[in-house]
Amino acid sequence: METSKLTINRIKEYLSQGKRFDGRKPEEFREIFIEKNISKKAEGSVRVKIGKTEVLVGIKLDVGEPYPDSKDKGNLITSAELLPLSSERFELGPPKIDAIELGRIIDRGVRESKFIDFEKLCIKEGEKVWTVYIDIYSINDDGNLLDAAGIGAIVALKNAKMPKYDEKEETVLFDEKTNTSVPLSDNIPFSITIRKIGNKFLVDPTIEEEDAEETRITMGVSKGDIMSSMQKGKETSLTIEQVSEALDLAEKAWKTNWPKIEKFLK
Amino acid sequence: MAKEFKRLDGRKVNEIREMEAKVGIVPNADGSAMFRFGDTIAIAAVYGPKEMHPQHSQDPSTGVLRCTYNMLSFSVSERIRPGPSRRSSEISKITEWALKPIIDIEQFPGTVVDVHIQIVQADASTRCAGINAAALALAHAGIPMRDLVSSISIGKLDKQLVVDVNKLEEDWEEGEGATDIPFAFTSQGNEVSLMQLDGKISMKEYKEAVKLAHEAIKKVYEVQKKALKDSIKDIGGED
Amino acid sequence: MTTENNESRKIVIPGEIIVSGEDYLPGEGTEKKGKNIVAARYGLAEESNRLVKVIALSGAYFPRGGNVVIGKVENITFNGWIINIGSAANAFLSVSEYPRYVRSDEIEEVMSIGDMIVAKVLGARRKSIDLTVKSRGLGKLTDGMIIEINSNKVPRVIGKSGSMVNIIKEETGCNITVGQNGLIWLKGNSIEEELLAKKAIQFIIDRATTSGLTEKIQEWFKKEKKQIKKEKGDEE
């Protein structure tokens, strides 16, 4: 059942004292568990758990034509599905706005940070380029699917290997992987979503905290304080001071939580 | 005397790949499970009985079992575009039919029991893994059931019948090629609840295949049973 | 399958033979097949005085007459409230089951959409569940917080004749109402008290099938309170 108003009031009350139900600080993520290569047929794949929230992210690559306005660059296509399997709140059917937005937010984070070196994905200018597919699936929603998906995308990309491309036959030999990684830069976007509950900010909400949130801002943050993507979601507005506060928390959250996932990105 | 048929991965003709099963993998669900045949991994989650929407789909005389089978885009070599396909719709329906005989939800009219199956990694026999995971998830969800359902694929590679087909065998091209014959049985009742066939086989050979499958699912059942029994450690009495 | 004190239990799966013998009776979750009592669902098989039943360990909540439940007002009709209690169908609370007379234009004022209430199940027929709030202790909930657990774990949280929940009440000073549908209302003098009760409940459901829980929970409270005292001391 959706979190009751009673509990939401309690969450706000406790937050006004600077405290969260599970004792975490506002900048702290729950325990992060990452398992690489969970689907052998994918070029790269990962299971990410933050607390009880779980997502699976897979990378597939294929060769095709470039877009006319980027003839020497590879392509990126990101999709997300909020599977009914993962929550009683998700229905059967085509992706609704929540899933569409999630996919686009993660895409923006990866794309704008220039994490992927698109020029190196060009095989023959104007004719053949690699397309990178990032596919995100929710497996259990206990809050913060957004950041779990973001972490999944970067770890899966980092650990993906290019399939073999037969230039003569112009086909991809999917079952023959090379030892070549996807061409990436060191500008790794760490997805951090700041949540506003009452007048307080926090990261990585449980599902109850997420039910209490009034607005959220997802940022792709790399190297501590560089942002290349941002999206504010939900209705409530922020004051200018609150924007500053949110950014400060994002920096703090990066410092606190980046070390937990860094080792998977070596 | 015919020499022992050599399978590509070294298995004997009636040998099943390594199996693994676990329940409770999706905390939010009423019941959930994972089932694996070798490199084929299926997960299933059950929600229900719950009110069915839209209302006009409700059956006033009984609860409805609704299965959806899908493959993750990256579960196969060539990426599958996300979303349902005709193939996944058909497999969803036959999965429902395979499980229906053992479920007793007449006592919950107007409700639906949703079974969501996702294939995480595919190496053939995915519908069988899906059915095995689904049966476990339904039991784990406490749905009134009179038995479990166990599923396995039989293959005919040229003229040789084998148990539990993998992808390489599915693509067998020698002689008569590959014939794919998935089955599902009610685990203790020995009733067939799923039969499909793709390829070429004589009636006589098919009867052999049924026997092989019937024998093989006993091993599948043991794995499913263990997953349910192991789900709770440490059973004590009252305080 | 029974021990001397009639309390041996085992996990059974659908279709499994629990006991064999003419004088056993098939209780809830079981079926009689010839001489055998067979499990008709997955759960914990229990036998007592020849009656065999399978207790659910997991799965959805099925309301029974007499159950105290906690639910959320989902909608308002001309003569009552539609309440979500987490079961397959929504429940209905008629104005006639409210302790005082409610005019139809007052209905929303008395209880509005989103409010949480404690109610008793009057009857659960095939497609409709009727509730009442006429007895003491029932009605709209104000203040406190609600947590949700699997309904099958409720008997463990309550304990024999309320023994377990009483320990939690004593140790935390909280008012606690446990709904049979798995929703629990906690109200203490401070949020800390409520969170301690929440933690205690989680401790119990993590060990729902083990024995000696009464001692374990008392031990646990001792440790927790020591820890809290220590942390408070560090803070000051």
Beta carbons of B232 and C31 less than 8 Å apart: no
Beta carbons of A84 and B116 less than 8 Å apart: yes
Task: Render pLDDT for A54-66 as a digit per residue (tens, 0 to 9).
Answer: 999 999 999 999 9
Contacting residues of A for C146, CB less than 8 Å apart: 3-4, 6-7
Cα B198 to chain centroid, rounded: 17
For chain A, what percent of residues have pLDDT higher than 70?
100
Supply B44's token pair.
């299933």
Which pLDDT score is estimated for B3? 60
Which pLDDT score is estimated for C2? 39
Tally Cβ neighbours within 10 Å of residue C215: 10
Beta carbons of C145 and A14 less than 8 Å apart: no
Chain B contact present for C210, CB below 8 A = yes
Q: Smallest Cα–Cα separation from C89: which of C60, C118, C115, C122?
A: C60
Domains and CATH numbers, chain A: 5-265 (3.30.230.70)
Bridge partners of B194, per DSSP, are B184
Residue B7 lies inside a defined structural domain of this protein? no
Q: Can you give the residue range of the structural domain that contains B158?
A: 19-228
Enclosing H/E stretch for C225: helix C213-235
Q: What is the mean pLDDT of residues A189-203?
A: 95
Q: Residue B211 belongs to a domain with what CATH number?
A: 3.30.230.70
Residue B150 lies inside a defined structural domain of this protein? yes
Task: Render pLDDT for C59-85 as a digit per residue (tens, 0 to 9).
Answer: 889 899 999 999 999 999 999 999 999
Supply A113's token pair.
């940070």
Grade residue C231 by pLDDT with cuts at 50, 70 and 90: confident
Q: Smallest Cα–Cα separation from B128: which of B164, B100, B171?
A: B164
Contact B155, B169 (CB under 8 A): yes
Contacts of C195 (CB under 8 A, 6+ apart): A21
Contacting residues of C for A17, CB less than 8 Å apart: 191
Q: Which of C86, C185, C195 sits opposite A21 (nearest CB)?
A: C195
Residue B10 lies inside a defined structural domain of this protein? no
Contact B119, B70 (CB under 8 A): yes
Contact C14, B139 (CB under 8 A): yes
Q: What is the mean pLDDT of residues B35-55?
A: 94
Q: Is the pLDDT of residue C95 over 90?
A: yes
Nearest CA in chain C to B55: C89
Q: What is the DSSP string of A171-217?
A: EEEEEEEEEEEP-B-S-PPEEEEEEEETTEEEES--HHHHHH-SEEE
Contact C43, C57 (CB under 8 A): yes
Count CA atoms within 13 Å of residue A56 on its CB side.
Answer: 24
What distances in angstroms separate CA B142 from CA A127, B47, C43, C152, one per listed residue?
Answer: 56, 11, 7, 10
Grade residue B194 by pLDDT with cuts at 50, 70 and 90: very high
Cα A144 to chain centroid, rounded: 10
Q: Can you tell me the ipTM of this complex?
A: 0.93
Contact B185, B193 (CB under 8 A): yes
Chain C contact present for A65, CB below 8 A = no
Contacting residues of B for A137, CB less than 8 Å apart: 72, 118
- Rounded to an integer, what distance in angstroms lies between the CA atom of residue A140 and that of residue A84? 9
Cα C226 to chain centroid, rounded: 30
Which pLDDT score is estimated for A3? 95
Radius of gyration of chain C from its Cα atoms, rounded to whole angstroms: 21
**Mean of per-residue pLDDT scores for chain C:** 91
Residue type at C75 in one-letter notation: N
Residue B189 lies inside a defined structural domain of this protein? yes
The number of residues making up chain B comes to 239
Nearest CA in chain B to A156: B74
Bridge partners of B152, per DSSP, are B183
The number of distinct structural domains making up chain B is 1
Grade residue B1 by pLDDT with cuts at 50, 70 and 90: very low
Tell me which DSSP letter residue B126 carries.
H
Contact A132, A118 (CB under 8 A): no
Contact A109, A220 (CB under 8 A): yes
Nearest CA in chain C to A1: C86
Contact A252, A129 (CB under 8 A): no
Chain C contact present for A16, CB below 8 A = no
Task: Render pLDDT for B65-87 as a digit per residue (tens, 0 to 9).
Answer: 999 999 999 999 999 999 899 99
Determine the 3-state secondary structure of A143 from DSSP: coil
Residue B3 lies inside a defined structural domain of this protein? no
Contact A36, A218 (CB under 8 A): no
- Rounded to an integer, what distance in angstroms lies between the CA atom of residue B202 and that of residue A222? 63
- Rounded to an integer, what distance in angstroms lies between the CA atom of residue C151 and that of residue B161? 48
Q: What is the mean pLDDT of residues B127-156?
A: 97
Q: What is the mean pLDDT of residues A43-70?
A: 96
Which pLDDT score is estimated for C211? 84
Residue type at C19 in one-letter notation: V
Tally Cβ neighbours within 10 Å of residue A171: 11
What's the N-to-C CA distance of chain B in angstroms?
64
Whether this prediction's pTM lies above 0.90 is answered by yes
Radius of gyration of chain A from its Cα atoms, rounded to whole angstroms: 19
Radius of gyration of chain B from its Cα atoms, rounded to whole angstroms: 18
Q: Which string of b and e fits B99-127 if b means at least 16 CB within 10 Å? A: bebbbbbeebbbbbbbbbbbbbbbbbbbb
Which pLDDT score is estimated for B72? 97
Task: Name the residue with tokens 């992706």.
Answer: A95
Q: Is the pLDDT of residue C1 over 90?
A: no
Query: Does residue C26 have a cis bond before it (omega within 30 degrees)?
Result: no
Domains and CATH numbers, chain C: 10-55 (2.40.50.100), 68-140 (2.40.50.140), 145-235 (3.30.1370.10)
Contacting residues of B for C59, CB less than 8 Å apart: 30-31, 140-143
Contacting residues of C for B31, CB less than 8 Å apart: 58-59
Q: Is the pLDDT of residue A252 over 90?
A: yes
Contact B95, B127 (CB under 8 A): yes
